[in-house]
């Protein structure tokens, strides 16, 4: 593209140069050496000044600015990364705490449950035992009563019948004969009762 | 006189005549625009580097973008060895760019449209690069003129061509910039003259052309500065990393 511009411009410009050369005796002012030395001098002064100021004062500052920005951005990125890691760690720790406390709570619950169950069992057992004892006692009493009651009844019956007979007839009856009759009767009753 | 398209390149003295012996170093309009360009560059980059905020303001952004642009250009073309010459190439680029751009303002003087200015810059670069080459490689720098992989029969011819091309570097570098600037400004002046001479009836065509040309010239002004700087980098690359 540059070459194209160059090729297009140069012949055209030379046309004009020829034209102006005809119009004015001066021709191309660029080729007039009158101010060459002056231009070289001022070019050296201005460009030298520009170069020195740029290279000593301004460019190092710009480069430092760029470096500072770069390092600052890197630092920020690093800090962000660090914080991200920290927050991740914290989330992990938080999760762990929650997990641990869950397990703890479960364990505690289980323990308490077991303890309560044990207590209940213990109490139940002791209660059962007590009950059994009571029942046994009652049963024994009942058995005792059962065993003793016929004899007592028989005895009472004998005595009562003896008294009755004595008062009714005024005759002393032999105890043993009465008891034989009472026993016979009570046996019959018993059979009837148990026969049910 | 004012319609003469070459009149804009006239150099004239401003202020008193300054003479050292027989040498005339008077301050001219060319000198004035060199000074203006230099101070404009310093102003812009001073403002751009004064405050260092993490988020750059406009001037800072401009300065830093220019800095990274030139720095990338150098590292792309001449590698990391060219870092010490960064300031010089940056100054060259900015100086040529600002001179070209100031020339785009009407009634100003284009410093770079003078062959003596561009030739001095190019000659300085040429001599500097040659000295750097000889310092870095000694006489081995002459290997630059002997490309590898060339048949022995062709070698004398190639060496001569290489030497001529090397020696013509300052001329091509300076003439490229000078001719581009001069031709562009002359063209614009000529079309401007056509606008006046053709009047209100026929003047619209050269006017529109002139407008388009202004855009093109601004592009050329940037492009020539860039080309000047990048060719400097390429020459420097030859001197620093000898690989022909």
pLDDT band at B197 (very low <50, low <70, confident <90, very high): confident
The pLDDT value recorded for residue A190 is 67
Nearest residue in chain B measured CA to CA from A42: B31
pLDDT band at B23 (very low <50, low <70, confident <90, very high): confident
Query: Helices B115-137 and B169-202 sit at what angle, rounded to 10 degrees?
Result: 150
For residue B109, which phi and psi values (nearest 5 degrees)?
-110, 135
Chain centre to alpha carbon of residue B148: 32
Structure tokens at B224: 């020539």
pTM of the model: 0.72
Give residue for tokens 């606008």: B195
The pLDDT value recorded for residue A193 is 61
Chain B: give the shortest CA distance to residue A75, in Å: 13
Chain B positions in Cβ-Cβ contact with residue A55 (cut-off 8 Å): 87-88, 91
For residues B178 and B181, give the distance between their C-alpha atoms in angstroms, rounded to a whole number: 5
The fraction of chain B above a pLDDT of 90, given in percent, is 61
Q: Which of B104, B72, B102 is nearest to B89 (CA)?
A: B72
For residue A28, which phi and psi values (nearest 5 degrees)?
-75, 120
The pLDDT value recorded for residue A52 is 95
Q: Compute the average pLDDT of residues B149-168.
A: 90
Contacts of B78 by beta carbon, 8 Å cutoff, 6+ apart: B85, B233, B234, B236, B237, B240, B241
The pLDDT value recorded for residue B1 is 42
The pLDDT value recorded for residue A195 is 52
User: Over 60: is that where the pLDDT of B189 sits?
Assistant: yes
Which element (helix H / strand E) includes B19?
strand B19-20
Chain A: give the shortest CA distance to residue B29, in Å: 10
For residues B134 and B148, give the distance between their C-alpha atoms in angstroms, rounded to a whole number: 19
The pLDDT value recorded for residue A147 is 82
Alpha helices by DSSP H, B104-203:
115-137, 155-167, 169-202
Condensed to tens digits (0 to 9), the pLDDT of residues B93-105 reads 999 999 999 999 9
The pLDDT value recorded for residue B104 is 92
- The residues of chain A scoring below 70 in pLDDT are 1-26, 190-196
The verdict on a CB contact (< 8 Å) between B35 and A46 is: yes
CB B228 within 8 A of CB B177: yes
**How far, in Å, are A185, B12, B24, B154, B237 from residue A26 at the CA level?**
179, 13, 20, 47, 41
Minimum-distance CB partner of B11 among A6, A23, A29:
A29
The pLDDT value recorded for residue A14 is 47
What is the radius of gyration, based on Cα positions, of chain B? 21
Condensed to tens digits (0 to 9), the pLDDT of residues B91-134 reads 999 999 999 999 999 889 999 999 999 999 999 999 999 999 99
For residues A2 and B176, give the distance between their C-alpha atoms in angstroms, rounded to a whole number: 9
**DSSP secondary structure code for residue B82 in this structure:** G
Chain A positions in Cβ-Cβ contact with residue B119 (cut-off 8 Å): none
Q: Compute the average pLDDT of residues B168-175.
A: 94
The pLDDT value recorded for residue A17 is 46
Condensed to tens digits (0 to 9), the pLDDT of residues B33-73 reads 999 999 999 999 999 888 877 788 888 999 999 999 999 99
Chain A: give the shortest CA distance to residue B244, in Å: 24
Least confident of A41-45, A173-177, B148-152, B217-221: A173-177
CB B193 within 8 A of CB A16: no
Chain B positions in Cβ-Cβ contact with residue A10 (cut-off 8 Å): 179, 183
The pLDDT value recorded for residue A31 is 84
pLDDT band at B150 (very low <50, low <70, confident <90, very high): confident
Nearest residue in chain B measured CA to CA from A36: B116
Chain B positions in Cβ-Cβ contact with residue A13 (cut-off 8 Å): 179, 182-183, 186-187
The verdict on a CB contact (< 8 Å) between B91 and A34 is: no
For residues B63 and B66, give the distance between their C-alpha atoms in angstroms, rounded to a whole number: 5
Chain B: give the shortest CA distance to residue A98, in Å: 42
**How far, in Å, are A178, A195, B152, B221 from residue A182 at the CA level?**
6, 19, 164, 155
């Amino acid at each position: 593209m540059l070459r194209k511009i160059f090729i297009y411009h140069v012949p055209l410009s030379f046309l004009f140069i020829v034209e102006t050369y005809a119009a004015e005796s001066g021709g191309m002012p660029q080729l007039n050496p009158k101010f060459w030395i002056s231009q070289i001098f001022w070019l050296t002064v201005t460009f030298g000044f520009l170069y020195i100021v740029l290279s000593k004062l301004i460019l190092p500052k710009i480069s430092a600015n760029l470096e500072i920005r770069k390092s600052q951005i890197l630092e920020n990125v690093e800090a962000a990364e660090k914080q991200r890691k920290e927050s991740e760690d914290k989330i992990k720790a938080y999760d762990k705490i929650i997990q641990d406390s869950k397990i703890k709570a479960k364990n505690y619950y289980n323990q308490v449950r077991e303890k309560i169950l044990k207590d209940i069992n213990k109490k139940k057992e002791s209660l059962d035992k007590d009950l059994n004892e009571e029942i046994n006692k009652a049963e024994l009493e009942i058995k005792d009563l059962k065993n003793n009651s016929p004899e007592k009844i028989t005895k009472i019956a004998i005595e009562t019948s003896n008294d009755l007979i004595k008062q009714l007839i005024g005759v002393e009856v032999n105890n043993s004969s009465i008891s034989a009759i009472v026993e016979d009767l009570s046996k019959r009753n018993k059979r009837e009762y148990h026969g049910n | 006189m004012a319609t003469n398209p070459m009149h804009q390149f006239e150099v004239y003295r401003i202020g008193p005549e300054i003479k050292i012996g027989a040498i005339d170093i008077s301050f001219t309009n060319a000198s004035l625009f060199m000074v203006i360009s230099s101070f404009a560059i310093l102003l812009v980059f001073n403002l751009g580097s004064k405050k260092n905020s993490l988020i750059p303001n406009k001037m800072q952004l401009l300065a830093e973008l220019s800095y990274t642009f030139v720095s990338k250009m150098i590292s792309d073309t001449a590698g990391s060895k060219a870092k010490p010459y960064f300031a010089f190439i940056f100054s060259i680029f900015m100086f040529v760019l600002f001179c070209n751009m100031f020339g785009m303002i009407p009634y100003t003087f284009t410093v770079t449209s003078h062959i003596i200015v561009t030739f001095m810059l190019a000659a300085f670069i040429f001599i500097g690069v040659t000295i750097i080459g000889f310092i870095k490689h000694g006489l081995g720098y002459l290997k630059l003129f002997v490309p590898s992989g060339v048949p022995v029969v062709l070698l004398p011819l190639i060496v001569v061509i290489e030497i001529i091309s090397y020696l013509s570097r300052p001329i091509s570098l300076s003439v490229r910039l000078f001719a581009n600037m001069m031709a562009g400004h002359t063209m614009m002046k000529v079309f401007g003259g056509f606008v006046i001479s053709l009047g209100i009836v026929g003047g619209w065509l050269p006017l529109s052309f002139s407008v388009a040309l202004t855009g093109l010239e601004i592009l050329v002004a940037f492009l020539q500065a860039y080309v000047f700087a990048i060719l400097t980098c390429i020459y420097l690359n030859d001197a620093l990393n000898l690989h022909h």
